[in-house]
Structure 1
Amino acid sequence: MISNTNKYAFISVVNKSHILTLVKILIQYKYKIIANLKTYLFLKSQGYEVINLADYLQDNDPISNLNLLVNNKLYNGITSNRSIQDITLFKQHNIYLIDLVVINIHDFYIYDNNQVINIERSIYNIDNITLYLLLSAAKNYKYVTSIIDHIDYDFIISELQSNCFISLNTKIQLANKTLHYVYLYIKKLATFFNTNHDFLLYENANTDNRKYNINKLSLQQKDNIQFESIDYHQKQFLNNIEEYLQQSNLQQIQGKELTYIDYIAVKIILDYFNIFIQPTCMIFQKTKLCSVASHVILVQAYINAYCANNVLIQNDMIIGLNQPLDVDTVTHIVQHAHIKIILVPNITHKAQQILSKKNIIVLIYKLDKNYKKFNIQYINQEYFINKSNDYIFQQKNINIVSLRKPTQQEMKDMFFCWKILKYIKSNSIICSKNNITLGIGNSKTNLLHSIKIAIKNAKINGFNIKNSCIASEVFITTEQCIHYIAKYGITCIIQPGGSIHDKMIISVVNKYNISMIFTNIRYIS
């Protein structure tokens, strides 16, 4: 067998989180990057030398004894066994041996303007080519490293920096993870077809239906199935927990072992704390954001957040604070049950003594000084570079579209909400007032349902929502949403804007004398 002297990586990612860091290191270790068009344009815009896949394939010549369906340079570069015959043949046809494949599986669901899944367009959007390449890369694990999850970038970087190569053990683990992700994607496809069986049958009524007398699959449908295995991640996390904590600048000073889900929630809180300056408390239940509050005094921020907590009292909570934990604040915290984790930048000696008597995990964090003041978001697989929240919230970057202008306090409330939407799930609604999330409606397909849930939670929490603010991560496109908001005396709305229904929504808002801001930016999580 002959080793490949020139190293090549193929990259095709929808989720471009941390991809720049990986590419920078790969180039340092003499990898040449081949990328699909959208990834190519993104990397090129960041100043990296990249080979456009279309340019690489344009002079593609057939190679004998290969099926036409897989007869292209990229596939052959991934599946090669590095034999002398392959090396010789590939040089003749200008084919590169691919050593590393970085590919995301994108969700195939396509929604229409009413946020309802468009079945036919979703079927068309199914990405079988990506699955084929991932399976090929995983199968050829001896020579090709397959990366499907951005959380593994740090391990690849660490291994390259330590050993200058990627070990066989790592390749096998990543191949296993790739195959598992592909399995989950195919399982989701099967559930999708099973669920929409009747629609597909009647949609194709011209076909002889007797041919399709097939029993429905007895699959258990899982809501919002993610392309990941929690069991797999938990095992990886426990085996490498010190590395995970070190990479995230975290130190555990007391308590039992963290779970992978806890770690993900902590990472989300850290992202938020890069954009909150005022003393702020965040409460999570697993990875679900329950409440946020900011105040000039830390203990009051905690009290406000706890009162706005949208979880059942029996659920364990993760408390995040962006200021050092003092005695006053910890005294209030320990009075409440079901506190699982406290995340703080520092802790006073007396506060630590109080907590040492409690079965609570305490994590000390240090924010990354190299935190970049921009965030990359994606809509329909297109990339958009959004500046930091401080930049977005300058007066010149917002668009007040209503006749009534928001008051200074309403502006503060809307900006507070919009910061929180940065990392919350898509299609979420936040109702807030005085730097407190009164209620949160998490990621419902129907936006009106999210609004109703947010307002219902605010009322359950005992808040007066009159003169409060509603923030929507998604476009508001129906009059019913505005009617419902106005019914409860909510006086201002902040949303991305840009919908074809904007004019109609603005006219309804003006009818109710509600102020509304368009940010011209949408966060997709």
Structure 2
Amino acid sequence: MAVRRALISVFDKTGVVEFAKRLAAQKIEILSTGGTAKLLREAGIAVRDVSDFTGWPEMLGGRVKTLHPKVHGGLLFRRGHTEDEKQAAEYGIAPIDLVAVNLYPFEATAAKAGLTATELIENIDIGGPTMLRSAAKNFESVTVVTDAADFERVARQIESAGETTLATRLELARKVFARTSRYDGMIATELERLSAGSGRVALEAKPVLPEFVHIVLRRQQELRYGENPHQAAALYVPAERAPLGLAAAKQLQGKELSYNNLVDLEAARSLAAKFKNPAAVIIKHNNPCGAAERETLVDAYLKALACDPVSAFGGVLAFNRAVDTAAAEEVAKLFVECIAAPGFADRAKEIFAAKKNLRLLELPAGGLEPERELQLKRILGGMLVQQPDLGEIKDDDLRMVTKRAPTAEEMHAMRFAWKVAKHVKSNAIVFAKDGATLGVGAGQMSRVDSVRIAVMKAQSSLAGTVVASDAFFPFADGVEEAAKAGATAVIQPGGSVRDAEVIAAADRLSLAMVFTGMRHFLH
């Protein structure tokens, strides 16, 4: 459909002047409102006010500008439809062939400190979404643009053919409904902060778990396959903001990513982020098979690898520092699937380039930040939603429950082991010493079996190690097995009905034991 009239009304004015100039150069009439009209006129573009087009002024403090039959009739009437054409002529409705609209920044406003209920409400856009929806519904005849990134494509098509293609109009309409769906979802969520119990509207803190959860995602990347080759998979990101963390990582080389690669990379990234000193994490099937922190990255990697070099084969690595030459030279000796880090030295890139299939991912600034958004897991017929496990222990949280208190070295090792245990599938047991894992037992149905597996997997003596358990020991057998392997101290949440029995066993075995009061199940 030839574009002869366009309505442009935007809050974010990025690129709008150049876009309008290109439309005007094609003899397209420009309708506009308020600040957009002022900006376009200042740029020398002929603009007709919407109030002149409709015969009605803006009113109610700007709440009503474009809510008029001449606007929505001009957008909605079906070109070539006999009855629609007849009614449009009867009521003096002129076609509007293109709409460029973006919305009040409701999400940014809602995040402001010191926000009032009135500010929140007044930043709910009514006219914008209404125009977008009208235009998008009639995409067979009308072009609708809500993203400045689409200005160039739309202008180019109009300059070439006087109109946009039907395929473009359909794609832009889909984009609009995704945008307005997300926008309404944000409003519904934020309105849960309002209360009216006192007879007046007041703004309160957000509920931890909202009544409604609205998520609109866009497909960012098709993946090689899902958990298995017969399963299709893709990476989706929030539609209305730039990707974060691993989703924003830049792949520098290697095969395309699979679903499992990203699951393992996220497990590695989230654990590496826990350490302040240079740290290395090796993940296999979503469980750490080695983690360490040292003064240098290469030493951290070598200590992590020493925990379980057999399982590390074909694993996924993450570092919390840029990978230097020394670390790259050691890593290159092992077959690994993926490496994620905040950066890679030029020489490190050259070393890894010899491994064509190795996937290198450069994490963005902030890529090691913890995930703070709600976590979702699908079950048949519903979705489970929970807060992320951001629980951290402080000195005041720790309770010494045995006759012997841990030494400073044991306490340092226990804090390290506790960080790792939080990232191991339950039942989780971690043996550690001097800032490195020496044995990891994961995913067993009984805790004592996790202890035994950790002991069996250990590649070096466990004498003088500490043990971390993600949940309480239900019986004394777990600490007895740990002591038999050489452990001297235990950190665990406590809370079992048999705590007294477990503590007595620890005392008998001269173990130091600390209760954290915080469980870290991971399923």
The normalised TM-score by structure 1 is 0.54
State the AA in 2 paired with 1:493. V
Per-residue CA shift, 1:396-443, capped at 9, x if unaligned?
121111110101110011100111122221211111111111011111
Task: Tell me the CA shift for residue 503 of structure 1.
Answer: 1.2
Check the 8 A contact 1:310/1:457 in 2, yes or no: no
Distance 1:234-1:282 versus aligned 2 partners, 3 A rule? farther
Partner of 2:270: 271
Partner Cα distance (2:469, 2:282) in 1: 20
- Show the counterpart of 2:317: 319
Instruction: State the AA in 2 paired with 1:358.
Output: K
What residue in structure 2 maps to residue 502 of structure 1? 499
In structure 2, runs of 5+ residues without a counterpart are 1-125, 127-180, 193-202, 220-225, 377-383
Deviations 1:269-310 (A, max 9, x none): 222233211111111124232110110111111111111125
**Aligned mates of 1:291, 1:457 — CA distance in 2:** 11
TM-aligned CA distance change 1:45 to 1:262, over 3 Å: farther
CA distance in 2, matches of 1:26, 1:425: 37
The aligned residue for residue 452 of structure 1 is 452
Alignment of 1:117-156 (within 5 A): 153=215, 156=216
- Kindly indicate whether the alpha-carbon contact (under 8 Å) linking 2:492 and 2:516 is maintained by their aligned counterparts in 1: yes
Summarize the alignment of residues 284-295 of structure 1 with structure 2, pairs less than 5 Å apart.
284-295=283-294
**Residue 296 of structure 2: aligned partner:** 297
Give the Å deviation of 1:249: 2.1
2:479: which partner in 1? 482
> 5 Å matches for 1:182-201?
none
Instruction: Map Cα deviations across residues 46-79 of structure 1 (whole Å, 9 max, x no partner).
Output: 6249997xxxxxxxxxxxxxxxxxxxxxxxxxxx
Aligned positions of 1:230-309 closer than 5 A = 230=227, 235-237=232-234, 248-309=247-308
Q: Aligned AA for 2:323? A: L
Q: How many angstroms apart in 1 are the aligned matches of 2:485 and 2:368?
A: 43
SS at match of 1:478: coil
1:47 is matched by which residue type in structure 2?
A: K
CA displacement, residues 110-147 of structure 1 (integer Å, 9 cap, x when unaligned): xxxxxxxxxxxxxxxxxxxxxxxxxxxxxxxxxxxxx9
Distance 1:353 1:409 in 2: 39
The residue correspondences of 1:66-465 to structure 2 (distance < 5 A) are 153=215, 156-157=216-217, 230=227, 235-237=232-234, 248-309=247-308, 311-312=310-311, 315-336=313-334, 338-359=335-356, 360-366=358-364, 368=366, 371=369, 388-389=391-392, 392=393, 394-458=394-458, 461=459, 463-465=460-462
1:28 matched to 2:25? The reply is no
Amino acid at match of 1:498: G
3-state SS of paired residue (1:248): helix
**More displaced stretch, 23-32 vs 364-373:** 23-32
Q: What is the rounded CA distance, in whole Å, between the counterparts of 2:479 and 2:410 in structure 1?
A: 17
CA drift of 1:29 comes to 3.8
Pair 1:483–1:307, CA change in 2 (3 A)? same
Alpha-carbon offset, residue 369 of structure 1: 7.2
**Judging changes above 3 Å, is the alpha-carbon distance between structure 1 residues 484 and 239 closer, same or farther for their aligned structure 2 residues?**
closer
Report SS of the residue matched to 2:362: strand
Check 1:470–1:272 CA distance in 2 against 1; reply closer, same or farther (3 A cut).
same
Paired residue total: 319
Alpha-carbon distance in structure 2 between the residues aligned to 1:474 and 1:467: 22
TM superposition shift of 1:246: 7.8
The 1-side partners of 2:269 and 2:488 are apart by 31
CA contact (8 A) 2:245 2:368 kept: no
1:210-243, Cα deviation, whole Å (9 max, x unpaired): xxxxxxxxxxxxxxxxxxx735995231799x99
Cα separation, 2, equivalents of 1:408 and 1:252? 42
C-alpha contact (below 8 Å) 1:237/1:244 kept by paired residues:
no
- State the SS of the aligned residue for 2:234: helix
Contact 1:285 1:311 in 2 (8 A): no
Structure with higher Rg: it is 2
Normalised TM-score (structure 2): 0.54
Cα root mean square deviation, aligned? 3.9
C-alpha spacing 1:355/1:466, structure 2 compared with 1 (3 Å): same
In structure 1, the residue matched to 2:148 is: none
Which residue number corresponds to residue 493 of structure 1?
490
Q: Is the 8 A contact 2:324 2:345 kept in 1?
A: yes
Give the secondary structure class of the aligned counterpart of 1:235: coil
What corresponds to 1:129 in structure 2?
Answer: none
Unmatched segments (≥5 aa) in structure 1? 6-22, 35-43, 53-100, 103-146, 148-152, 160-228
Please give the alpha-carbon distance, in whole angstroms, between the structure 2 residues aligned to 1:470 and 1:301.
20
